[in-house]
Structure 1
Amino acid sequence: MPKQHIDTVFVHTALGNDTSATLNLEIALNAFFKPMTVHVELASVQDDKTVALGPIAINSQETTHIFQVASVQLWSLDTPNLYYLRLKEESGELLKEIRFGFRRIEVVRDGIFLNGERIKIRGLNRHQSYPYAGYAMPKSAQVLDEDILKWELGVNSVRTSHYPQSHHFVDRCDELGLLVFMEIPGWQHIGDSEWQSIAVNQVSEMVVQYRNHPSIFLWGVRINESQDNTEFYTATNKKVHELDPTRVTGGVRYTRKSELLEDVYTFNDFYHSGDNAGIQPKKKVTSNRNAPYLVTEFNGHMYPTKSFDDEGHRLEHALRHARVLDALYESNEVLGGLCICVSAKRKACP
């Protein structure tokens, strides 16, 4: 980076009653940045139509600016319209470019509403490790995974289990219209106070890096399948709400009636075994029935199935997923569910 540069820009929006919107910019500068005039432009990714929002004076390390935009195209699952926000010097040199979308996501007890339309989460967990290559995969492979999720598997959401994943993948989620549940790295283990301090820092890094992605609707601030820890998870939730007040938090657990410090009660429900109910009733799982409730894992390893298994085995595997999906869609108390797990192009879920 040049010695004088814009450190971060957080773009968040509020929709009007018509096609108008409010655009909020939170700009943080590096320590060497000198006061200057910056020109702000808004450009549609779809047609490259550019609108000058006006010059702004930047004369402090952190500054907030608000613009009114007369007409915008919304980001949604079916029409994922995107925009570029460009900050330029008076000479025209580009200082910063952010891609984002105009949308309103509300997560409440009765459901998830995207631009006022209720949706049911129907998704998968994803690991980004690949056979023989691990995590060292290029943009083309990351993008292909998203295409498979969207067009072959027919989901509308994905959980980045259990760590932030490639920007190439999340960029593609923005482009194709796939909701993302992004969470911090970890699995069951909680370390000492120094370990927890590092984890809180990782929460900050995750939010600041990814918060301009319109596809992200939920931040995971709890170590996957860990035990309750009031002090630790109070700190992780507080950090997210400081850095991004526009989204809600969740924390994946496998214990029922767990302490709820997050906004959404997220739970791994492996209850279905073939001849019983698809999911457990919310009242038997949550410690707060007034909180939104999301099933974050189901099936998967509970009934291991390979493509070369006999037809009867593969059929029962598919029926188990169908039964859980039926139960998720039938219940008005559940936001939806994410199956465990799809890893690279080895599809564990039909």
Structure 2
Amino acid sequence: MRRFLLAACLAVSAAVATAAPLQNIYGRQHQLLDGRWNYIVDPYETGFYNYRREPYDQSASGVGGFYDDRKPRDKDDVVEYSFDGSPTLAIPGDWNSQNAKLEFYEGTVWLRRQFNAAPQAGKRYFLYFGAVNYEAHVYLNGKKLGSHKGGFTPFQFDVTGRLQAGENTLVVKADNTRHQDDIPTVNTDWWNYGGITRDVLLAETPDSYIEDYQIQLAKGDMGRIEGYVQLAGVQHAQEVTVSIAELGVKTAVRTDDHGRAVVSIALPKAKVRYWSPEDPKLYAVSIAAGADKLDDRIGLRSIVTRGQDILLNGKPVFLRGVSLHDENPLIPGRLRGAGDMRMMLQWAKEMNCNYVRLAHYPHSEEMIRLADEMGLMVWAEVPVYWTISWDKPEVYANAAQQLTDLVVRDKNRASVVIWSIGNETPVSAPRNVFMGKLADTVRSLDGTRLVGAALEVHRNGDVVTVEDPLADKLDLASFNEYAGWYWSNNREMLKFSFKVNYNKPVLVTEFGADALGGYHADSDTRWSEEYQDQLYKNTFKLLDAIPGLRGMTPWVLTDFRSPRRPNPVYQDYWNRKGLISETGKKKQAFYTLKSYYEQKQEQYK
């Protein structure tokens, strides 16, 4: 199914990488290509198009663009660019936060990295990008490898036979220009950080290698692992072994002529420690096939719904959550590594969270692995956000590809319990078809997790209704609401009540109010910490009255940057709904939410 979907998306849009990303890329022998990259800002795309707006890389000669990294042949030769004399950016990292002149820049930036390689016979080599926002064109030693669209999902190229022994030149054209027909579209509420925002790796495998695998508890059977192993390369039919030494289990299977083998392993159920926030147990899993061997750390857990309950490992659970962006409020820009990510997740744990909503796009693989390790359940989302071009097949193909890439990358992570297919998408016939197909797609890729979306609510007088045709495709009645901020206020919001027309667990995916950290007034004064705090207290009263309430992710853990928020006194291009300010100080509502979650934890013991 995975290969079919990838092929279908490729047929609709040529702007995808030439090979599906390897599973567990960090488990491979690899060379990190992070560090300082030279860059050239190119708002007119002079390095990509000639004066007649024709791409250089599609010309007969294939030369002439900045990707050639050309040097003058002699003193009479004119070359109007130079990476050697250009400034550098830290990669991974965005350009907006590293150069004040580029703070609001949207457009093309060329980035170059020179590195040494020693390719060996009998090995394959893959150039892997964790994420480039938004459209990337990639060139190695002056030759185009391919392109990719999507600012938050990984992609790779097979560069076997293209690497040079010794020095190699890698050039990336990154373009974060927003377009109506992209995913996300032009209208968002977060900073459009451009550049190579996650790791770049040169990975090495044997000629025949483990391309993909899935190791999970079987749906409905906590005493069995079911999954598969997919091989690629020169020899598809091989024996594969999968073992979990700590549990004393090992199985051998043989792949078919397409390199695929189904895996089924009976577990000594009495010995298994099932992954949970209270006990985030990860087992060392080894997969071997011929000359290739991979080790991973995988948690075993089940997540299902029963009526209005969410059951984790068969027991009812309340999802005590918070939403967060892939952004460090203390250091401008995207989260740059494990230290940044651990800080964000630790703040959530300090608030007594067992769950986080990673909004509004795929966060990094490293973030998901940390959630595995730290014991935080995850809502993972794709940027189908607000109003998309619902009628265009190529837009759907883009969304389906990003969703596929997210599921393929993170399907072995126990922390991921919900796949979200979008946020606040207004109801219409074309939207219903588009989103319904996404729900079908994610279920075809992974039937072991819940499927959700952040729906909109509708007000009729004092009654707030959750009613959306898409809900029939979802496992959860999940929705955003902003009583007391975008509608009503602290004095009047308690007159509202919620009507949820589904016998499903209710998750409130957003609520909140802006508060400028350190600004104090009474609870009727907007922008004050007191207003935000009182809104939280009122919201708990409203939400606790909803039958089936089983979790929430208030908006948002920390203040974050947004060009939509220009108020010079209270915002200054920040969304101030964070429970933690941009200086790292906890606002009053942080402690109110923590106290509420302590009560919920006691209730669900």
TM class by smaller structure: 0.7 to 0.9
State the number of aligned residues. 333
Secondary structure of 2:426's match?
A: coil
Q: Please report how far the alpha carbon of residue 330 of structure 1 lies from its aligned counterpart in structure 2 after TM superposition.
A: 4.8
Q: Cα distance, 1:16 vs. partner?
A: 8.8
What's the CA shift for 1:333? Answer: 1.8
Match of residue 176 from structure 1: 374
Query: Could you tell me how far 1:136 is from its partner in structure 2?
Result: 5.2
Instruction: Say which structure, 1 or 2, has more relative contact order (CA 8 Å, 6+ apart).
Output: 1
Partner amino acid for 2:502? R
Contact 2:480 2:510 in 1 (8 A): yes
Distance 1:203 1:341, change over 3 A: same
Cα offset for 1:337? 1.3
What displacement does 1:311 show?
Answer: 6.0
Question: Which residue of the other structure, out of 120, 131, 146, is the alignment partner of 2:345?
Answer: 146
State the structure with more CA Rg. 2
Letter in 1 for 2:503: N
4+ runs deviating over 4 angstroms: 276-282
Tell me, what secondary structure is at the counterpart of 1:86? strand
Match of 1:56 among 246, 253, 258: 253
* Equivalent residue, structure 2, for 1:325: 540
Per the alignment, residue 399 of structure 2 pairs with 199
- Aligned twin of 2:151: none
The question of whether the paired residues in 2 share the 8 Å contact of 1:27 and 1:64 is answered with yes
Cα drift, residue 219 of structure 1: 0.7
Structure 1: 5+ residue stretches without partners: 44-48
Question: For 2:495 and 2:238, how far apart are their aligned partners in 1?
Answer: 57
CA 1:57–1:338 in structure 2 vs 1: closer, same or farther (change >3 Å)? same
Structure 1 residue 231 displacement after superposition: 2.0
1:28 aligned partner: 230
Residue 125 of structure 1 aligns with which residue?
323
Q: Deviations over 1:293-324 (max 9, x none)?
A: 2110001xx3x213311264434422322332
| Correspondence for 2:283 among 68, 83, 89 | 83
Larger deviation, residues 288-297 vs 178-187? 288-297
Equivalent position SS for 1:123: strand
CA-atom RMSD in angstroms: 2.6
Seen in structure 2, the aligned counterparts of structure 1 residues 68 and 198 have a Cα distance that, compared at 3 Å, is same
Q: Give the secondary-structure state (helix, strand or coil) at the position aligned to 2:342.
A: helix
Partner of residue 5, structure 1: 209
Question: In the aligned structure 1, how far is the partner of 2:327 from the partner of 2:310?
Answer: 30
Shift of 1:213: 1.0
Query: Hey, what's the Cα distance between the residues in 2 that align with 1:33 and 1:143?
Result: 40
Deviates more, 1:226-235 or 1:205-214: 226-235
Q: In the aligned structure 2, how far is the partner of 1:322 from the partner of 1:232?
A: 37
Q: Is the 8 A contact 1:11 1:24 kept in 2?
A: yes
Give the deviation of 1:214 after TM superposition. 0.8
Deviations 1:194-214 (A, max 9, x none): 112110111111111111111
Q: CA deviation at 1:24?
A: 1.0
Alpha-carbon distance in structure 2 between the residues aligned to 1:156 and 1:279: 30
Q: 1:243 is matched with which residue?
A: 445
**What's the TM-score once normalised by structure 1's chain length?**
0.86
Q: What is the TM-score normalised by the length of structure 2? A: 0.51
Q: Is residue 218–residue 247 contact of structure 1 (8 Å, CA) maintained in 2?
A: yes
The code of the aligned residue for 1:275 comes to R
Q: What's the CA shift for 1:116?
A: 2.2
User: Deviation string for 1:328-348 (max 9, x for gaps)?
Assistant: 345432222110012479626
What SS does structure 2 have at the residue aligned with 1:340? coil
Shift of 1:292: 3.0
Shift of the alpha carbon at 1:31?
5.1
Which residue number corresponds to residue 46 of structure 1? none
CA contact (8 A) 1:127 1:344 kept: no
Mark the CA change 1:317 to 1:251 in structure 2 (over 3 Å): closer, same or farther: same
Q: Does residue 337 in structure 1 map to residue 548 in structure 2? A: no
1:6 and 1:279 mapped to 2: Cα distance? 58
